Amino acid sequence: MSQFDEEDGLILDPDSVGHRARKRFGQNFLQDFRVIDRIVQAVAPLDDDQLVEIGPGLGALTGPLLRAAGKLTVVELDRDLAAGLPQRLGYPQMLTLVEADALKTDFCSLVRGEGQLRVVGNLPYNISTPILFHLISQSRCIHDMHFMLQKEVVDRIVATPGTKDYGRLSVMVQYHCQPTFLFEVPPGAFNPPPKVTSAVFRLQPYGVKPIQAKDEQRFAQIVHHVFTQRRKTLRNSLKNWIAPQTFEALSIDPMTRPEMLSVGQFVALSDY
């Protein structure tokens, strides 16, 4: 099992298993017990939860989650880390190990019975957005998600209209989920330390979306299109998509830029 220094809150000897972090997998191993404890408290797992951790790594978060929930499924791409994980944790009978790429994993296939998954992870920063969209596409099987990403990405996810961080990621995630910023995590909480500050956040997929687009594919296309030209006014960026009188009918200023529109206004444009 992982060893902790209760005085400074750091996991001792994170390299003792003889594994070096691999850049191609975006590995930065969490090593601060205080941060781990805050994540577990935020997740607040219950005995009957169907908990899934993406990228358990050395098991620093896995162990406390397993002890709190009683059972846990983990998805790990690195075969070397996966091979030794059950023995390192000391609870192999309580662990279900899936050796796979999270980007290619059918998470709905991991659901037992009529329940839903609770997904947790310190996501690889280099592929964080594709993983988020992959999970959102399967959100019918997911109750909630607790992730750690670089803070600048989390700021974009929770951003509100009219702010510099608001963009395509904000609109698309907020259309499907309720996001909540939880807390920041400094670089020193990891080994090796990343060059950025991180943050933990929660996504709660909507059972019934508060705003439902008639054509979600068209909605996604419009959002993607306008934010690739975010310096243009809506009138200019959408001139081949939407007639000028449409803006007036929807009470949307055609001279504004996309970061000023709410999720509901993007849905209205798409529906019209």
pLDDT tens digits along 152-199: 999 999 999 999 999 999 999 999 999 999 999 999 999 888 889 999
Closest CA to 31 of 250, 238, 194, 219: 194
Summarize the confidence of residues 210-227 as an average pLDDT. Answer: 96
Report pTM.
0.88
CB-CB contact of 100 with 94 (8 Å): no
Distances (CA, A) of 232 to 165, 228, 247, 259: 17, 9, 15, 11
Task: Read off the pLDDT of residues 10-66 as tens digits, 9 standing for 90 and up.
Answer: 443 444 444 444 444 445 788 899 999 999 999 999 988 999 999 998 888 999 999
Backbone angles phi, psi at 32, to 5 degrees: -100, 115
The domains of the chain, with CATH numbers, are: 23-205 (3.40.50.150), 216-271 (1.10.8.100)
Average pLDDT of the chain?
Answer: 88
Q: Percentage of the chain with pLDDT > 70?
A: 90
Distances (CA, A) of 84 to 19, 58, 81, 92: 11, 9, 6, 10
- The distance from CA 223 to its chain's CA centroid, rounded to whole angstroms, is 20
DSSP string covering 138-193 = TGGGEEEEEEEEEHHHHHHHH--TTSTT-SHHHHHHHHHEEEEEEEEE-GGGEESP
Name the band, by pLDDT with cuts 50, 70 and 90, for residue 139. Answer: very high
Token digits of residue 56: 């358990």
